[in-house]
Amino acid sequence: MFFSSAEPTPYDLRFSLLGIPVRVHPFFWLFSAMMGWAARDPGATAVWVACVFFSILVHEFGHALVLQAQGMSPEVVLHAFGGYASPQYQRRTSTWQRVGMLFAGPAAGFLLYALVRLLLSLPAFREWISPIEFDTQGKFRLRQAMSQLLFINLWWGLMNLLPVYPLDGGQITRELLQTWFPWRGLEYSLQISLSVSGMLAAWFLFGSSSQQPYAGILFASMAFESFQALQSRRY
Ligand SMILES: [Zn+2]
């Protein structure tokens, strides 16, 4: 779950999967392509966009299938920096039901990671995909796609579990702290979110060996959001 709304546009791609409606905002394609832009190899950009699309869809379906099992008809939306699965109507749920629903997104991604790993460990598949000297364009792209699927589903899944708003981990932290500290839980979770995202933003933006401007800007905007939420609670 990432940022909370994207207005419908006439250019949205709409379909439905396992009875769950899916909407893809045009900015989703734009931002994914920008993130994986390879000027000399448009094919590589296309493979990257396809992997991001499939991975985020799997992540959101992790949330959506649990919402559906809990009796709420969800809708999945993919937009600029990710996506979200939102229930069409709310139902009363327990803390653990909400934590389970939040965890199901990253868990679905880890499952996809494990499946790709498993496929790559099968001797017959390895033999078929590995000899580079008899490479075809299709095999080359498939190898590319598999290594990107491994990267996205492991690292984005772990990143999503950080205790930072509005990532899944930040929402899990809020749910748990609000249960343990009914009065101060929300504030504690925002303080944790602000400190962790602030440190990560500084590390990604200014760290000598770790410069990743996209991640830096993303964590800086999340730190700002937590800061604002804390301020508006105080005054
Ligand atoms: Zn999520």
Distance CA 141, CA 67 (A): 35
* Distance from residue 173's CA to the centre of ligand 1 (Å): 14
Which residues contact residue 212 at a Cβ distance below 8 angstroms, ignoring those fewer than 6 apart?
204
- pLDDT value, residue 31: 87
* Distance from residue 170's CA to the centre of ligand 1 (Å): 10
Whether the CA torsion 199, 82, 172, 107 is positive or negative: it is negative
* Distance from residue 41's CA to the centre of ligand 1 (Å): 31
- Is the pLDDT assigned to residue 147 strictly greater than 80? yes
Token pair, residue 39, equals: 């000027």
* Distance from residue 40's CA to the centre of ligand 1 (Å): 33
* Distance from residue 134's CA to the centre of ligand 1 (Å): 40
- Is the pLDDT assigned to residue 4 strictly greater than 70? no
Average pLDDT over residues 32-48: 87
Please check whether residue 193 is in contact with residue 164, taking contact to mean a CB–CB distance below 8 angstroms. yes
Percent of the chain beyond pLDDT 90? 65
Predicted TM-score of the model (pTM): 0.90
* Distance from residue 100's CA to the centre of ligand 1 (Å): 11
* Distance from residue 52's CA to the centre of ligand 1 (Å): 14
Q: List the one residue out of 151, 33, 26, 25 whose CA is nearest residue 77.
A: 25
Which residues contact residue 66 at a Cβ distance below 8 angstroms, ignoring those fewer than 6 apart?
100, 101, 104
